[in-house]
Structure 1
Amino acid sequence: MTFSICATVDGRHGVAVATKAIAVGSTAPFVCRSGAVCTQAMTSTPLGVRTIRALEAGEPIDAAVERLLADDPHAAVRQIHGVDADGGTVAVTGDECVETAGERVGPDYTVAGNMLVGEDVLGAMADRFETTVGQSLDERLLATLEAGANAGGDKRGEYPQSAALAVFDPAEPHLAHDLRVDEHDDAVAELARVHDLASTVGSEWAAEYPRADLQRHPE
């Protein structure tokens, strides 16, 4: 089971994802200055990396994913979705992904999941993202992930074991934008706890060392 969201807002691009497998943050979500993408079901880290490279080279995300899947012998069991900096979106669910599997596409965001208890999970996630306008992108992504978990998530009734939140934000790079829970009984709840802590630590760091983040993350 995996459910996730990719979104772009005001030059910031991000992914939030939760799954029953361990260490999802190391394999599935990818962000860069040009967009965000998530690969799941039969996860392919190379597919995520190649998509991000294509975005950085100026290729629209829908064209990049279509091209890459055309050469993928396992495309039927892939699920990949994402957004680019120009407002483009893509969401593809292979014919052999475990049901319930599907996606939702809205203005500047995509939601996708597989092995879900039902379509309501995707609907709840899309609704939550659309009703959190005005909050920061990392807060909106996390709220959307929580909505998916609260709507039932895994069709087997199991909690996500790992979760991750990644945001490319050139204006405010700090700890709350790259978080991972690699193994936990309730990974989404743990990710929310870590996000709260990282947000505080990140703010304190920026206040004490106002130029440090810019040195580590140049424009």
Structure 2
Amino acid sequence: MTSPTPVPEPAYADRTFRSVPGLVCGVLLIALTAWIGGDALFRGEGRTPWTALAGMLAVIPLVAAFTVRPVVSVNEDRVRIRNPFRTIVLPWSDVADVRAGYSTELFTQAGVKYQLWAVPVSLRERKRAARQAARQSQDDPHGRSSVNADVRDTAARVAAADRTAAELRELAEEAGHRKDATTTVTASVRWAYEVIAPATAGVVLLVVLLAIG
């Protein structure tokens, strides 16, 4: 009698962390730059179209790099950090800690530090969460206060960056405790040439235009 073939577990999509306000601001800035630059490109005279083209080549990739591009993607095997100019892939076994101080940072077992641009730290939000936690800690713990559900909502009393750092630490710990923690993922760092190349070309073109007057 043959044993039944094990059914493979379904593969789930990556869980992502990113700054929604940064994404929105980036899209708006790119649209504004494209609108102004496009108008100068198609209606300008003399060297104006070339200057507009160079400006868009230099500005749009950089705006996208610092606003739209940053994202942290995680699954059971690895964490992928997409920063403005680099993409870092690390298996969970390489992750030692994730901390949110003035910025959110990931530390590897080898002591290498990577900043998580997708998880910005807001000191104002952190102070507001601390004030809210202090107020709620003084309320009646038996449900007779005026804030009811919020008293029991721990997430509402923690800043977003601190909450994300805690979730990433928990994912790393869970991966380390799994019996099948071995993975084929290897650590890698790749430069974002799709950002660097057009931005560099735009800057060089601007310098040439300024040099020739």
Q: TM-score scaled to structure 1, two decimals?
A: 0.25
Larger strand percent: 1
Larger helix percent: 2
